[in-house]
């Protein structure tokens, strides 16, 4: 059984039918992050996607939610060194244990 199939079985059972299409897209973003430090990479910005990714990462790493970090991607304002949440077009999710 591949890693992707195992993830669908373990995490997919928790999701209701409304979120299954988003979960399938989430698997694509998970596979895109292979070779990077992030667990999920390039997810389009929305509150639903953010919550789904946080749940996904906590289930994969079997960790508390406080160990999940979000990096927002998009244009930076002239006065900051990082992308602000309000300006973000996408985000990456990282697992960093404390």
The pLDDT of residue 63: 93
pTM: 0.74
Is residue 68 a contact partner of residue 58, using CB atoms and an 8 Å limit?
A: yes
Higher pLDDT, 92 or 82: 92
96 — pLDDT class (breaks 50, 70, 90): very high
User: Could you state, in order of their start, the residue ranges of all structural domains in the chain?
Assistant: 3-95
The pLDDT of residue 18: 42
The pLDDT of residue 1: 52
Please check the confidence at residue 8 and state whether its pLDDT lies above 60.
no
pLDDT in tens, 16-71: 444 444 677 888 999 999 999 999 999 988 888 888 899 999 999 999 999 999 99
Instruction: Kindly tell me the burial class for residue 18, based on how many C-beta atoms sit within 10 Å of its own C-beta (0-12, 13-18, 19 or more).
Output: exposed
* CA 84 – CA 72 distance, rounded (Å): 7
Please check the confidence at residue 5 and state whether its pLDDT lies above 70.
no
Half-sphere exposure of 87 (CA within 13 A, CB side): 12
């Amino acid at each position: 059984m591949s890693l992707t199939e195992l993830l669908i079985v373990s995490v997919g059972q928790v999701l209701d039918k409304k979120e299954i299409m988003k979960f399938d897209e989430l698997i694509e973003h998970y596979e895109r992050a292979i070779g990077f430090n992030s667990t999920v990479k390039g997810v389009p910005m929305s509150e639903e996607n953010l919550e789904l990714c946080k749940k996904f990462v906590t289930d994969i790493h079997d960790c508390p939610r406080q160990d999940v970090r979000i990096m927002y991607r998009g244009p930076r304002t002239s006065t900051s060194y990082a992308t602000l949440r309000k300006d973000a077009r996408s985000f990456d999710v990282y697992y960093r244990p404390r």
